[in-house]
Amino acid sequence: MQRELTIHCSAMLAFAAILIGNAAGAQEVCGIDSIFYDGVEGKVLTLVRHPGAKLSPGVAQSIVGPSTFDVTIVSPSDGAMIGDPTVPVSGTFSGPSDTGITINNVVAHIEGDSFVVPAVQLLSNGTTSLNATATKLTGETASAKVSVEQGGARSPISFLVERTAGFAPFRVNFHYTIGALPSGGGITYVGIDYDGDGADDVANPARGSIPTYVATTPGIVRARLTVKDDKNNVYTAYRYYVVHDLSARGGMLCDVYGYMRSQLNAQPPNIAAALNAIHPNARDEVQPIWEEASSGLAAYVENMGNIANATIAPDFATFLLLRRNADSSLSGFHMTFSRDRAGVWRISNL
């Protein structure tokens, strides 16, 4: 589900980004821009707190990250035997907020310092290597690997969610089926743990109903279906869903834009570094423009404008850039973000 991240100011909707500080520690003022606050747009060299403004995480957190950069697969464990043809893969990482992670080239969902790919296809016979690759916007990578074997009995129960990811509050609809139990036993209990805390939140839901839960806390959740029969057998199935933090996502994207501008504003301009913020599919279009304007990139950057509104979905975002012209009129431009094949958020249209 896409959401608009907006702040009201004199009936105007604002989600603004103003670059301050040096490239490594720069933060964005995400909130009320001076273009709306006092009607005068000027160069902002120091942090100005307008009513309703908030600081983004900053380039140091969103783009550069901590000194340690690594990725770890937590589940499944190395050598695990998997009965189903697919397996969810989850884990943790240490790195900047704008880190992309793939498992066997499938882009993972990320929230905080955790990631998940809900279903990775396994080889029908033999061992499957699950290869995790973490990538920074600036190009550094880290990797991890476990191997699992596909085989054994498939579970007689299945557990699904309609949508894997959304922004809090996120309405999650659950679906489950129960096939013939191996023991021939009759079903005595069905329970669902919605929030992954280990305790069932609903017991014996009405047949044909769609259990629903509204998740309000950002994070990666491992929900559980439990089925019991009259022969004391217990069957469990798990399904991951991801609750994204809209404010954190907006702040990180704000920093991608800020990182690009800081590199173009450097003396001399670092066009190669700035291109890291651009989606690979768009670089051939953007690079010649920057190189042609290399001697006047400071003016080019100033004319890019500030972020005035954003519509953000789990896999893409569209920002509105506003620029005040010499005659005090406003010009608007759209900028879009999407994840590349490595899962890194970059500007795909500028």
87-138: per-residue pLDDT in tens? 999 999 999 999 999 999 999 999 999 999 999 999 988 899 999 999 999 9
Residue 263 sits at φ, ψ, to 5 deg, of -70, -35
The tally of CA atoms less than 13 A away on the side-chain side of residue 143 is 10
Q: How many helices (H) and strands (E) does the chain have?
A: 6, 26
Pairing of strands 99-103, 127-136: antiparallel
Residue 251 DSSP SS3? helix
Q: pLDDT averaged over the chain?
A: 85
| CB contact at 8 A, 64 and 263 | no
Residue with tokens 């896409």, as numbered in its chain: 2
Residue 218 to residue 189: CA distance in whole angstroms: 30
Q: Quick count: other Cβ atoms within 10 Å of Cβ 23?
A: 19
- Please state whether the peptide bond connecting residue 268 to the residue before it is cis, i.e. omega within 30 degrees of 0: yes
Task: Give the residue ranges of the chain where pLDDT is below 50.
Answer: 1, 4-25, 31-53
Residue 134 to residue 344: CA distance in whole angstroms: 9
Query: DSSP characters for 203-215?
Result: ESPPTT---EEEE
| CB contact at 8 A, 325 and 331 | yes
3-state helix, strand, coil in the chain (%, to 5): 15, 45, 40
Residue 287 to residue 34: CA distance in whole angstroms: 30
Between the CA of residue 29 and those of 15, 22, 103, 265, 324, what are the distances in Å?
9, 14, 34, 18, 18
Mention every residue, 6+ apart, whose C-beta is less than 8 A from residue 152. 81, 82, 83
Residue 63 to residue 221: CA distance in whole angstroms: 26
DSSP 8-state class, residue 236: E
Mention every residue, 6+ apart, whose C-beta is less than 8 A from residue 45. 20
